[in-house]
Amino acid sequence: MADHVTYEQSGVSVDAGDKSEEQIYSHLASTFGPRVIELPGGFAGLFRLDYDEKLFKRNYRNPVLVACTDGVGSKIQLAAKIKKYDTVGIDLVAMNVNDMLVVGAEPLFFLDYLAVHKLEPNVIVEMIKGVAAGCRIAGCALIGGETAEMPDTYKKGDFDMAGFAVGVAERKKILTGANVKAGDIILGLASTGLHSNGYAMARNICFKRLGLKMTDVLDELDGAGLGDVLLEPTRIYARSIVKLLAHYKVKKVVRGMAHITGGGLVGNVPRVLPKNCDAAIKKSSWPVHKIFTFLQDKGPVEEAEMFRVFNMGIGFVLIVAEDFADSIAKKLTRLGEKVYRIGRITTGTGKVVLK
Cα gap 14→313, rounded to integer Å: 44
What is the structure's pLDDT at 61?
80
Residue 158 and residue 115: Cα distance in Å, rounded?
9
Using CA atoms, how far residue 60 sits from 78, 106, 172, in Å, is: 42, 11, 10
Q: What is the per-residue pLDDT across 235-291, written as a single tens digit (0 to 9) for each?
A: 999 999 999 999 998 889 999 999 999 999 999 999 999 999 999 999 999 999 999
pLDDT of residue 14: 52
Diameter of the chain measured on Cα atoms = 84
Q: Which of the two residues, 52 and 8, has the higher pLDDT score?
A: 8
Q: Into which CATH architecture does domain 14-173 fall?
A: 2-Layer Sandwich (3.30)
pLDDT tens-place string over residues 82-128: 999 999 999 999 999 999 999 999 999 999 999 999 999 899 999 99
Say what the pLDDT of residue 1 is. 47
| Separation between Cα atoms, residue 268 and residue 261, nearest integer Å | 7
pLDDT band at 35 (very low <50, low <70, confident <90, very high): confident
Could you tell me the pLDDT band of residue 15, with boundaries at 50, 70 and 90? low
Tell me if 181 sits within 8 A of 252, measured CB to CB: no
Instruction: Compute the average pLDDT of residues 134-146.
Output: 95
Q: DSSP secondary-structure letter at 72?
A: -
pLDDT value at residue 11: 54
Q: What residue segments make up the domains of the chain, in order of their start?
A: 14-173, 185-354
β-partners of residue 142 are: 110
pLDDT tens digits for 299-355? 999 999 999 999 999 999 999 999 999 999 999 999 999 999 999 999 999 999 999
* CATH class name, domain 185-354: alpha beta
For 148-181, the pLDDT digits (tens) are: 999 999 999 899 999 999 999 999 999 999 999 9
